[in-house]
Amino acid sequence: MLEGRPEDVAEYVDGELLDEMWDDELWPRDIGDFWRPAVNAYREASAQS
């Protein structure tokens, strides 16, 4: 999840699955710092739908 271009990662990472497992996993700090804004944005968008 730290390698690849954003469009490459977006193609392979399932946003809904990442959201579901986000709070249950212990993420290394660099991965958490990188992905936390995307997870938060996904959650906000899902709440507004």
1-49 pLDDT, tens digit per residue, is: 667 676 777 778 888 888 899 999 888 898 888 888 888 988 998 899 7
CA distances for 49 relative to 8, 18, 41, 42, 46, angstroms: 26, 18, 13, 11, 5
pLDDT confidence of residue 6: 67
Give me 7's structure tokens.
Answer: 């469009």
pLDDT confidence of residue 1: 63
User: Whole domain around residue 33: which residue ranges?
Assistant: 6-48
In a domain, 1, yes or no: no
pTM for this prediction: 0.69
pLDDT confidence of residue 35: 85
Number of folded domains in the chain? 1
